[in-house]
Amino acid sequence: MFEQIKGLFSNDIGIDLGTANSLVYVRDVGIILREPSVVAIQAGTTNVLAVGDEAKRMLGRTPGSIVAIRPMKDGVIADFEVTESMLRYFIQKVHHRKLIAPRVVVAVPSGITEVEKRAVKDSATHAGAREVYLIEQPMASAIGVGLPVHEPAGNMIVDIGGGTCEMAIISLAGIVFSRSLRVGGDEFDETIVAHMKRAYNLMVGERTAEEIKICLGSAYPMEQELSMEVKGRDLSAGLPRTITVRSEEIREALKEPLSSILESIRITLERCPPELAADLVDRGIVLAGGGALLRGIERLVAEETGLPVHIAEDPLSAVAEGTGRVLQELQFLKRVAFTAKS
């Protein structure tokens, strides 16, 4: 009874502080917020004008006096103040008018430093959190996709986000080995921009590149190859032009960033203790993060590693779901999460 009443007021929250998207999970409710990890700032100042969806919307519609910052873009915190504004916005958006300050679990990229962890923790505290726990994103992702991380057996997660690809081998609720690679969906987009320039002398924006990736990007040959019309600016004539792009050429362009990811997976597997590696032969690898939605990526990874590969049911929500499950089990939280030392 007391627990129930407490739940009404406290609403402990989990935050996936992603490089591209941030999600907020409220205990006993679920994911209630998904917004781009973008902050709009008045150029030359530290004035925050908008955060999340609104910041992204303001973008194309305002003069050069507004700049958009993705503070987590590379899986490190580029700007502490901006990151704090973003965290504050997310916490306050879901927590307004609650009586008891929330406990907050923040999933952070596994590559961040102690100083950055401290900064995230302080920011969340300033933003109104009563207690703050940090958990590494690959751990949260593994929990979120339902891997039995408590078991004394090897589990492998590869979470391909916007700015980073985080992978880890987990056993007994601990990370045995993890890697954070600064290659992810953004790099796929950049590669497509470069391809369009090289092959067609056509300049396309990153948004268009992302659209191409989502509409016809692939990592493995498709039964039915696709094509689409793409508009851009001809680099020599300077005029708008439309061309037709085929999925085969996009796959070719994506080979390079994909091979960095494959290489990291190989290294991770090589570092894996033999008993755990043996477990992976049966259990395989789970792919999560937006990058797991690239067509055929599971077949490519399976072919390269010889292991079974599964895609998470909802790749974009895995980390947030993981923070949610962790909130439910405080005992477990205390074992897997690390709080920044004072």
* Closest residue by Cα to residue 283 from 160, 138, 151, 140: 151
As a whole number of angstroms, the distance between CA 261 and CA 237 comes to 37
Which does residue 154 bind out of Mg ion, ligand ADP, none, counting CB within 5 to 8 angstroms by kind? none
Looking only at residues 230 through 289 of this chain, which bind ligand ADP when binding is defined by CB under 6 A?
A: 289
As a whole number of angstroms, the distance between CA 282 and CA 77 comes to 37
Q: Quick one: 154 or 161, whose CB is closer to Mg ion?
A: 161
Q: Which one among 13, 20, 124, 153 touches ligand ADP, defined by CB under 6 A?
A: 20
Strands (E), the chain: 13-17, 21-26, 30-36, 39-42, 48-51, 66-69, 103-108, 131-136, 155-160, 165-171, 174-181, 202-203, 227-234, 240-246, 285-288, 309-311
Which does residue 290 bind out of ligand ADP, Mg ion, none, counting CB within 5 to 8 angstroms by kind? ligand ADP
β-pairing, 165-171 with 155-160?
Answer: antiparallel
73 binds ligand ADP, rule: CB under 6 A = no
Q: Which one among 10, 11, 21, 247 touches ligand ADP, defined by CB under 6 A?
A: 21
Cβ neighbors of 243 (< 8 A, separation 6 or more) are: 200, 202, 229, 230, 232
Q: Which one among 161, 184, 284, 322 touches Mg ion, defined by CB under 5 A?
A: 161
Q: Which one among 291, 305, 322, 336 touches ligand ADP, defined by CB under 6 A?
A: 291
**Three-class secondary structure of residue 228 per DSSP:** strand
290 binds Mg ion, rule: CB under 5 A = no
**Burial label, 231 (beta-carbon count in 10 A; 0-12, 13-18, 19+):** exposed
293 binds ligand ADP, rule: CB under 6 A = yes
Site string for ligand ADP, 182-211 (x = CB under 6 A): --xxx-----------------------x-
Structure tokens at 248: 């085969």
15 binds ligand ADP, rule: CB under 6 A = no
Q: Which one among 14, 18, 36, 71 touches Mg ion, defined by CB under 5 A?
A: 18
Q: Quick one: 16 or 279, whose CB is closer to ligand ADP?
A: 16
As a whole number of angstroms, the distance between CA 243 and CA 258 comes to 25
The Cβ of residue 67 has, within 10 Å, a number of other Cβ atoms equal to 15
CB of 48 to ligand ADP, least distance (A): 20
Pick the stretch among 10-18, 30-38, 73-81, 263-271 that binds Mg ion (CB under 5 A).
Answer: 10-18
Pick the stretch among 212-220, 254-262, 270-278, 328-336 that binds ligand ADP (CB under 6 A).
Answer: 212-220
Q: What is the dihedral of CA 6, 11, 12, 17, to 10 degrees?
A: 180
Site string for ligand ADP, 124-163 (x = CB under 6 A): -------------------------------------xxx
DSSP 8-state class, residue 102: P
In single-letter form, the type of residue at position 172 comes to L
Looking only at residues 98 through 157 of this chain, which bind Mg ion when binding is defined by CB under 5 A?
A: none
Contact residues for ligand ADP, defined by CB under 6 A: 18-21, 161-163, 184-186, 210, 213-214, 217, 289-291, 293-294, 316
Binding footprint of Mg ion on the chain (CB under 5 A): 18, 161, 319
